[in-house]
Amino acid sequence: MSQSLTVYTTKDTAPTSTAFAPTVTTSGVHYTLSVANTDLQVGDWVADLAQNEVRQVVVVKSTTTGNLSSAFTTPLSAATVVRIPKNESKVYRISVAADKGGAITVEGAAVADGSSVTFDVPELDAATGSKFVTPIVVDGTTNNATVLVLKR
């Protein structure tokens, strides 16, 4: 097990994302990349920070096409997304605190100054590592957010 404690000063995912060069267009669950890319793998996650939404890659058909776990609320059209590699997403708890002097936004919802929110899997699943918490979007831009991520 490992843990990371990070102060977010921008909008990002927890666990922290990595940059992803191709833009993405979606139609339902199907995605198309603007250029060939071999980094995106089954089990990875992609996040559209503008919509506060994260989706898992479930099928890679080629270096430019594949399927996501579900469609984005608003289909993407040459959108810039970020990637959370599957090896970084084996998380069983994410806690986010608005402890830096103001309210923050987590998953598009306000978290009041001085409070926190925790995303967790049931204790049984955490013990076996069979299920993990879906990555979330944290906006620490206006007021910084403290994020604790516990991983397998």
Q: How confident is the model at residue 126 (pLDDT cuts 50, 70, 90)?
A: low
Q: Which of 30, 61, 86 is a domain's end point?
A: 86
pLDDT, mean of residues 48-59: 97
Question: What is the tally of structural domains in the chain?
Answer: 2
Residues 21 and 7 in one domain: no
Residues 104 and 73 in one domain: no
Determine contact, residues 44/83, Cβ cutoff 8 Å: yes
- Res. 127: pLDDT tops 70: no
Beta bridge partners of 9: none
Write down the H helix ranges in 6-149. 123-128
Beta bridge partners of 79: 24
- Res. 57: pLDDT tops 90: yes
Residues 29 and 77 in one domain: yes
Q: Is the dihedral of CA 125, 129, 131, 135 positive or negative?
A: positive
CATH number at residue 63: 2.40.30
pLDDT value of residue 121: 85
- Res. 14: pLDDT tops 60: yes
Residues 71 and 40 in one domain: yes
* Phi, psi angle pair for 87, to nearest 5°: -70, -20
pLDDT, mean of residues 51-63: 97
Q: What is the mean pLDDT of the chain?
A: 93
Residues 27 and 6 in one domain: no
Residues 67 and 95 in one domain: no
pLDDT, mean of residues 94-122: 94
CATH number at residue 126: 2.60.120
As a whole number of angstroms, the distance between CA 68 and CA 85 comes to 14
Domain that holds residue 123: 2-13+88-151
Bridge-based pairing state of the strands 136-139 and 82-84: unpaired
Q: Which of 33, 51, 86 is a domain's end point?
A: 86
pLDDT, mean of residues 55-81: 97
